[in-house]
Each structure stands twice: as structure tokens, then as C-alpha cells.
Chains A and B, each alone.
Chain A
Amino acid sequence: MNDNKKNTENSITNCPHCNHKLSSWEQVLLSVDRFLMCRNCWYRITYEDEAEKKETKKTRKERKSGKK
């Protein structure tokens, strides 16, 4: 069965620096406040930067597979 959570394509679930898993509340904070300090490594995660990277990766993938 599903987790019943709404999925957002650009949601960031792990710290990009140390890969520490973000709790669900941390994910909410990041998506709303647009930045978050990772409590594991103190890296400042910026939502726009990371979402953009994800989007670029996705676009590249789609282009490669000829979907775009």
C-alpha cells in the first residue's frame, strides 16, 4: 500500500553533502523556508540550488532517452 504521502518531484530527501536522510519535518522546512542546515554535517542546503540540479539531471536523462 502507499505511504499516503503526497509526492513532489523536486522534494529533497537527503542532504546533498553527507547523504544523511532528512526527517519528514526537515523536508517540509526545506521546501517552505527554502533552506535548511543539515544537523549531521551542518551543510546549508538551499532548496532552489538542489531542485535546479535535480531538474537539470532529469532533463538530461529525458533528452538522452529522446523523451523530450
Chain B
Amino acid sequence: MNILESQWVEHGYGKRFQGFQNLMRQRIRDVLLVSSLYDLYLFEEDGRLYELIRNEYQGLHLSHSPEITRVSSAHEALTLLEEEKKFDLVITTLHTEDMHPVKFAQAVREKNGSLPIVLLSFDNRELNNILIRYDTSVFDKIFIWQGDYRLIIGIIKFLEDKLNVEHDTKIAGVQSIIVIEDNIRFYSSFLPIIYTETLNQSKRLISEGINLSHKYLRMRARPKILLCQTFDEAWEYFEKYKEYILGIISDIDFMKSGKQNARAGIEFAKEVKKRVFDIPILLQSTNPENEKEANQVGASFLYKESPILLNELRQFMVQYFSFGDFIFRLEDGTETGRASDLLTLEEQLRVIPEESIKYHAERNHFSNWLKARTEFWLADKLRPRKVTEYESIDELRNYLIYSLQEYRRIRQRGLITDFKKDTYDPKNGFARIGGGSLGGKARGLSFLNILINNYGISDKFEGVRIDVPPAVVLGTDIFDQFLDENNLRDFALKCTDDSEIKKRFLNAKKFPEEAIGDLIAFLDLVNEPLSVRSSSLLEDSQYHPFAGVYETYMIPNNNENPFLRLYELINTIKLVYASTFYKNAKDYIKITTYRLEEEKMAVIIQKMVGSEHGNRFYPDFSGVAKTYNFYPIPPLKPNDGIVLLALGLGKMVVEGGKSVRFCPKYPKHLIQFHSTKEALSTNQQQFYALDLETKQEKNKIIQEEFTKLFDISEAEKDGTLKYAGSTYSPENDRIYDGLSYEGIRLVTFSPVLKHKLFPLAQILDLLLDMGSWGMGTPVEIEFAVNMTPKDSNLKQFAVLQMRPLVISQEIEALKIDDVEKEKVLCKSSGVMGNGIIKNIYDIVYVDYNKFDRGKSKEVAAEVSHFNSKLTENNIPYLLIGVGRWGTMDPWLGIPVTWSQIAGARTIIEAGMKDFYVSPSQGSHFFQNLTSFMIGYFTVNEENENNFLDWNWILEQKCEEEKNYVKHIRLNKPLIIKMNAHNNCGIIVKQQE
């Protein structure tokens, strides 16, 4: 498969896209040098040969300088070759003490057929002697040492090119330069020059790479040198690689069809020009009279006896092989402009005269220059079209400019680039500001971006664009700089008052200036609402998602005053930084193996997904999808996955609010709507949106107030409920799809799930599969959908986050024995977790009889008190509560944060007196629960498989009690058994 079919081959993900990473697979890594000590002394001169070569490799940004092993005798060499079998090249001089070099080479050939052997001579006369008397065809090549140690590098590169040319041309269209020279002295002297020039050219390209890996990958695609000695050898190469020949440097007098031919080079040039008219050709000769004929066939000419031959050769390469700047000229040679990279090329194309464009286009100079810079895809795109195909030169000019712009935009897609205002694409870009890590969240997003772009997912569904919203990421170095410049580090680590931390961070006067410049530039390009999210070093790792621990803010970014917009953004970033040190974060980190000092914060500033509806901004719907369903209801299986979906911002889902649950493999199977009673009780009645009218005022920080709750009726007025709504008719006690009936509005998403208004289930099914494949684990994805983006007629499915899920890997299913009911504290068929816990003596429980939904916040505070008390003493406990743990909706359950119950080893969620509460799998709380492998029992209704012995609990003597929550300590530990395979579990009280 040829790279030219796709421009994505530069990025190395997926087998197909190994492109540049797969180039130069065969390398010369170990060289065996067979020479006398004196020969070595001649090589080395001022320094050790190895170091000289190593320095040269480093200077040229080449990796893996070869190891050189020297021996002085042929027998030693043969023994080494036999014993070690690691050498990729043998170089022998004429002074092998115990065997003639030709005999030595023959001996090597016999044992190691394909191992390259090169003869290196110091003296022409000595060499001629050998050439006349012996058959030297056993050597791959013969060279003459002329005092330049770079010849060794030239030899190595020549052989590597020979080994890799076929593969690299096929895979990536790498260019080649054919060099025809049969005079050993000549090619020995200019081969190093040619290589140095091509390698320097490659080095120049490094500065233009999009990011570091891109830069180094391009080094591998440097033009190859195909050194030939005869017409036939050269012609074979030309026939095979004609589309990829960058140029030809040739002698004039050499062998053709077995005979010496004084005009072989002229004939070669003529034949080449017949087939490809615009290949640059340089002919060299010791006879200056050949110049006229060389020019007649369209080739340049160099006089070999010129004292500045090598310099002229270098100049030819720079000019004609398109190394160096693109120089715009008129037909008479007058220079009209210069371009050093794609951006300046685009700029120049706008202003240079038409005649200049015509001159270069007719000769394919643009595509040749691009090829020399390894921009193969673009070069190929521009090449086939003739100037005459355009109605005017202006049309050609516009086409060239458009192609360059499009290419620059496309090749950045899926990559993290360094943020630059003039190259950042505000519709697709994903760029970094500052150094350091990008943090866990940004890593996950960037990885997703690459997968989506490299595997062509973004336009896989008709009428829908799947993407990661454009973003910039402030690297962790900015965080470090901010803390250090404002002396905040020690204070923040020690302070226990969140409001004090917040105040000090907001009042910090210094913010890294370089970052401010880039943020100003970013805000100049993006004036839509932004989400400002934490992306810490430790976040989103498999075992510690830190979900919901740090802050996310959303800001309208719509102030007319650009300084206020910047002020708002910087303050928001400071708030995210501050949240690294809040009590929540400190409590969370205590129960991990990390130290807060190790934590660093990157910040993602991302365009929000959604549309404006009056003074509100929100997506039509959003949610969380998981590859694994912890509570599958048959016939669903855990690996079928689960999605939680809500109208408006995804905050509703991640904070455990009301949402629609469905399986992406069975989107019409909506159990929560099977009964009208449950449908009404679980109905989403409010949605989150960004309030665009809340204006940032100087000195007043109100980031938390930007996101507000609105009634579903507002969504109906905005026209967004139509994608999600159904209607309940009390008269008929029925639920009707759509909004055409009068009645109570329900958020069911039936237009999407049943009537396929949007291919949500198929997209999620695909992305979950893709995510698991990419990460090698089950995953969880946060997403948002905008059905009417303002700048596109395609609906937008935006992926906001992807992180790995922790699934218990136990192989053995634990047997849950039958236990007499009197001994059972709790039994459930809705259990998460696997294994036995035998060391829990303490129970913290919410008194079922005293619990009042209106006081759930006080309950949360009391639970937090007991949690702190027990975790300080490293005492694990069983937590029992009423309603959903961790929901932000106090009417659904108890609004604790993770850190407030982090010491619990097992949690029981008992149903409220008046309604059933299902576990909220989409919330941050739930994520942390699964990652810390906390046992989780849900007991909603009492039957033989679901039971909680409240009477026994209430009879126990309290260690401490508060208004709603009590702590008891048992004399004998509970035995907790959980079976993940059938979701069953039991908690047994040991008798006194």
C-alpha cells in the first residue's frame, strides 16, 4: 500500500500507519574494521574514530551511531564473525597481516553470503595493482581514503540506502538521487559531500516538524543515494524508481552494455529526459568540451578538474535538488521572492508575479521542492495537474494556496502541536502551551483524537461529524512556574482552609508571561464558551481516576472587553490550580500511594459543545458510556456496556443526577420506562446549561455561578426537547413518543433511541470498542452532542474524555453459601465487587427511621465526620445509607463526595421508603468506587435475595451518634462475601 493514498502515514498508530516509523528498517549498527594499527592511526588523526563518527551522527541528529570493532588480522576477523554473528558490515584495508584482502573477502562470502564487504584503500597505485591482478567483484564496493573520516559515514549510509531503497520507496515514496561514477577516487571524495548535504537538508526540516516525533521521523525519509558504476546499473534503478528520482549526478564516460562509452552519461541524460523532462541532471567530466552537449540535453555541467568542484557540487544540490529555500524567479532568472517553509511559501504565493508562478509550475518546481522536504502527499497532489488545466494563473495561484492551507490543516489533525497563532486551527486544533506533562485527561483526549483521525472515524456516519473539540493544554511547567513565582507551594501543601487557598491563588500577581501571550492569541481565535478542566499527572490512570476530585469550570468567554475575557480565563486557570490543594484532593491522595507533592496540574482549555439558546448555552444531550455494565439486567450482559444520557450539560450525569440508561447494543430496551411510575420518578426534570448573561466583573470571582440548572420546560421553549422528549398522559396513563400531545414532559430520548433521529447507539458502540482496543482495557467515555452547530450542516458528536475502567479480574467465582437468615446482616443480588472481607468491625449507618430527604446535606456532613475519625486511625468500616450515595441531588440520596466516604471498605445502598434508587454508573463517585474496588451492595426491595437487617443494626450499642448518623463497633468482625460473576453478595454477622 502506497503512502500516496493517504496523508496519515506520518503518524505511527495502527499497523497501516507505521509509514515513516517503518523506514530505514535495516541499519548498519556494528562494523568490523580489519586494518593494521597504522591504518587506524591514519583514520583517526586527531581523535578516536569512534568518537569522531559519533559526534558527526549527533550533529546530524542521526540516531544510533554504529559500533566499530577493529582487528588487525584476517583470521581474527573470521573468528569474530563466526563467534559473534552481530556484524552488519566488514571494512577491510589492503593491509591485513595474514591474508590477502581478496582471499579474506572470499572467505567471508563463503560463510556469510549477504554480509556487505567493502575494501578501503589508501593509495591509488596500490589499489590499481589489486584491480589489475585480482577479481575484486567479491567486494560490494571499493573506496579510497582521502583523509575525510566522513567517508566511513558515507559508506555506511550508501549500504543502508541500498538495503532499504525498495521498501522505503514502496511504503513512503522516499526520493532517491542516482549517482553514476566509475572512478573510485572521485566517488570516494564526493560521496561524503552528497551525504552531508542530504543529511543537513534533513536536519533543516527538523525545525519545521509539527512536534518532536514528527521532526525525527522526517529524518528517516531523507533522499537516498544510489551509487552506480555503469549505465545498466543506473538504468535499472531509474526504471524501477523513476517517479521517485529527485535528481541525477553522473559522470559522462563509463561502461555501457559491457563496453566503455565516452558519451554514456549524455545518452543516459537524454533517455531520462525523454521519460521525465523535469528531473535535474548534473553531468561531470574531465573534458570541458562536454559542457555544450550536456546543456543541449538539458543537464547542468561540472568540470571535474575545477579546484572548487566539491563546492560547485554542493551548490548544485542546494539549487536543483530543492534543498534550501524555494527561490521564486522569472524566466530570465530574476529573483522575485524566497520561501523557507510551507507557511512562507503560502505567503509568497499570494504576492509574487504571475510569470514567476507560471515559470515554476510548468517545471514542477513546487512539487520537487516539497518532495525534497518529505512532503510527499502534497507534492504528489500538486504534480499531475498541468498549468494549461487552469483558466488563469490566478486560478492556479489560488489552488496552490488552498492546497497548502488544507494540507497544513489536515496534517495537524490528530496531533498535539505546539501552539502558534498562525497555524492553530480553531475548528480542529489540539495544541500545547508550555512544557511539562499534559496530564492524564489530556493524554486520553489526545489519544482519542489520534484514533478518530487516523482510522477515519470522524466522518463515518452520514450527516455526523465525530471529533474531539479543539483545545489548548497548558503543560505542567506552567503550573510549576506559577507556584514558584508566587511562593505558593509550601503554603498550599500545608493550608487546610480551601477558601484561604482559593483567595491566595486568585490574588497571586504573577502568571507566566509566555503563557499569557499564547492565551491572548488563543482568545483572539476562539470567542465561544470554554470549559477549563483539570488534567493532573495522576488523573485518569487506571487505578486512580481522581474522578471529580479537581475542578472543572465553564465560562461564557463573551465579554466585549478582551481584557476581561483574558482576566476571566486566567482566574479560572488559577482556580483549577488551587483545586489541586483543596481538602477533597488531599483526602483523596491520602488513600492512594501518592504524595500531594508529586501531583502537578496541566489545564485543558476547550471549546464547549453546544448552541446558544437565548441566554443559555448547552449541548442537546450528553452523557457517559462504559464498556462494562456493573449492574446488567438480563438479558443484558456486563460486556454489552451501558450509557447514561441527559439533556443539557453532562454535569447532570457525572454528579449522579437523573438520566436515561440504555445499552448501546439494545438501545430500544429501556427498562426505566416500562412502568409509568418508575418513568415519572426517574424523570430528568432539570438540565444544566451555561448562563451567558452572568458577566465576569473585575475583582469578583463567580465562576461557580456560570453553570445553572433550568427547568425542562425551558428546553422545550429552546426547541431542544424535541430530540429527547416524550409525553405522559395522566388521563390514559400512557407515555407517548414526541411532544405533540399535552401532558407531562418526560426525557426519554425516544426520538434518538427508538426512531433513530441520530445514530447515537451505533456511534457509542463503535467508540467503546475502539477505546477498549486502543487502551487494552474497558473504558469509559464522556460525550456531548450538538444537533445544530452554527458553523456546519453536520451534527456534532464530541468526545470529551476517555479513561480506563477497573474491572475486577478475579477468575474464581466466590461461592456464596446458604446462611441462615438470623446470621445475615445483608444479602443482595445487586452487588459489585468480588472476594471476602473479614476485618470490618465498624459500621457507620444512616438511621433509616430518622432519615429525612430534606436534611440529606446534614447527613452527608455527619458521614464525613465519622469517615475522618476512622480514616485517621486507619480503621476500615461498612457504610450503610438510604438512597443513592454520591448524588448531587439531595432528593435522590446523600450528596457526599468521594473523599467524604473514602475510608469505607464496603457500602450498602438501601432503597428509600418511597422509591427505588438505581446505582448511578455514570457519576464520578461511581468511578472512584470501582477503581478502589469498594464492595457495593444495593438493597432496594425485600425478598429472599435482597435483605438488610435494620432491626439488628438499630439494636446495637452506639460508639458515637449524631442526629442522623451513628457509629457502632462490633466485638467480632463481619464476614463480607461478594461474587462478581453473578452480582450476589452476603454480609454475615458473627454471633457473640
Contact = CB atoms under 8 A, between A and B. Distances in A.
Given A3-B756, A4-B756, A32-B16, A25 B769 contact: yes
A34 B16 contact: yes
A20 to B, nearest CB: 15
B461 A5 contact: yes
Interface string B524-554: 0000000000000000000000000000000
B457 A28 contact: yes
Given A2-B462, A4-B756, A4-B759, A24 B16 contact: no
Contact of B773 (A3, A4, A25, A32): A25
Nearest to A31: B456
A53 B765 CA distance: 29
Contact of A24 (B1, B463, B769): B769
Interface residues of A, number: 16
Interface string A1-39: 111111000000000000000011110110011110000
Given A25-B773, A28-B456, A32-B455, A4 B461 contact: yes
B14 A5 contact: no
Given A32-B14, A32-B455, A32-B456, A4 B463 contact: yes
A68 B369 CA distance: 44
A24 B466 CA distance: 15
B712 interface: no
Contact of A6 (B14, B15, B460, B769): B460
Contacts of B755: 1
Contacts of A2: 462, 756
A4 B464 contact: yes
Contacts of B766: 23-25, 28
B460 A28 contact: yes
Nearest to B765: A24
Nearest to A1: B756
B457 A3 contact: no
A10 to B, nearest CB: 15
Contacts of A3: 756, 759, 762
A43 to B, nearest CB: 17
Nearest to A28: B455
A33 B773 CA distance: 14
Contacts of B759: 3-5
B893 to A, nearest CB: 36
B770 interface: yes
- The binding surface of chain B is classed by DSSP as loop
Contacts of A34: 1, 16
Contacts of B455: 28-29, 32
Interface residues of B, number: 24
Contacts of A26: 769
Contacts of B769: 23-26
Given A32-B14, A32-B455, A5 B460 contact: yes
A5 B1 contact: no
Contact of B461 (A6, A25, A32): A6
Nearest to B767: A25
Contacts of B756: 1-4
A29 B770 CA distance: 9
Nearest to B16: A33
A33 B765 CA distance: 20
Contacts of B14: 29, 32-33
A5 B667 CA distance: 16
For A4, A6, A26, the residue with the greatest tally of chain B CB atoms inside 10 Å of its CB is A4
Interface in B737-761: 755-756, 758-759
Nearest to B464: A4
B297 to A, nearest CB: 42
A34 B14 CA distance: 11
Contacts of A23: 765-766, 769
A5 B462 contact: yes
For A3, A23, A32, the residue with the greatest tally of chain B CB atoms inside 10 Å of its CB is A32
A14 B473 CA distance: 41
Nearest to B774: A25
Contacts of A24: 762, 765-766, 769
A3 B758 CA distance: 9
A24 B456 CA distance: 13
Interface string B459-503: 111111000000000000000000000000000000000000000
A31 B79 CA distance: 50
B761 to A, nearest CB: 10
Contacts of A4: 461-464, 756, 758-759, 762
A5 B770 CA distance: 16
B360 to A, nearest CB: 36
Contacts of B758: 4
Contacts of B454: 32
Interface string B1-28: 1000000000000111000000000000
A32 B8 CA distance: 11
A2 B755 CA distance: 10
Contacts of B460: 5-6, 28
Contacts of B456: 28, 32
Contacts of B464: 4
A11 to B, nearest CB: 11
A33 B15 contact: yes
A29 B773 CA distance: 10
A61 to B, nearest CB: 27
A12 to B, nearest CB: 16
Interface string B429-453: 0000000000000000000000000
A5 B457 CA distance: 11
Interface in B793-807: none
A40 to B, nearest CB: 15
Contacts of B765: 23-24
Interface in B242-266: none
Contacts of A32: 14, 16, 454-456
A27 to B, nearest CB: 9
Contacts of A29: 14, 455, 773
A5 B15 contact: no
Nearest to B463: A4
A12 B884 CA distance: 45
A16 B464 CA distance: 30
A26 B756 CA distance: 23
A7 to B, nearest CB: 9
A1 to B, nearest CB: 5
For B463, B464, B766, the residue with the greatest tally of chain A CB atoms inside 10 Å of its CB is B766
A5 B773 CA distance: 21
Contacts of A25: 766, 769-770, 773
Interface in B583-642: none
A5 B16 contact: no
A28 B755 CA distance: 25
A6 B758 CA distance: 14
A63 B759 CA distance: 37
A21 B593 CA distance: 44
A1 B769 CA distance: 24
Nearest to A7: B462
Contacts of A6: 459-462
A26 B770 CA distance: 9
A66 to B, nearest CB: 32
Contacts of A28: 455-457, 460, 766, 770
Interface in B16-47: 16
A33 B451 CA distance: 13
B614 to A, nearest CB: 30
Contacts of B15: 33, 35
A7 B335 CA distance: 52
8 contacts: A2-B462, A4-B461, A5-B461, A25-B770, A25-B773, A28-B455, A28-B457, A29-B455
What 3 A-B pairs are tightest by C-beta distance, nearest first? Answer: A25-B769, A4-B759, A24-B766
Given A4-B762, A25-B769, 9 more contacts: A1-B755, A3-B762, A23-B769, A25-B766, A28-B455, A28-B766, A32-B454, A33-B16, A34-B16
Interface of B: 1, 14-16, 454-457, 459-464, 755-756, 758-759, 762, 765-766, 769-770, 773
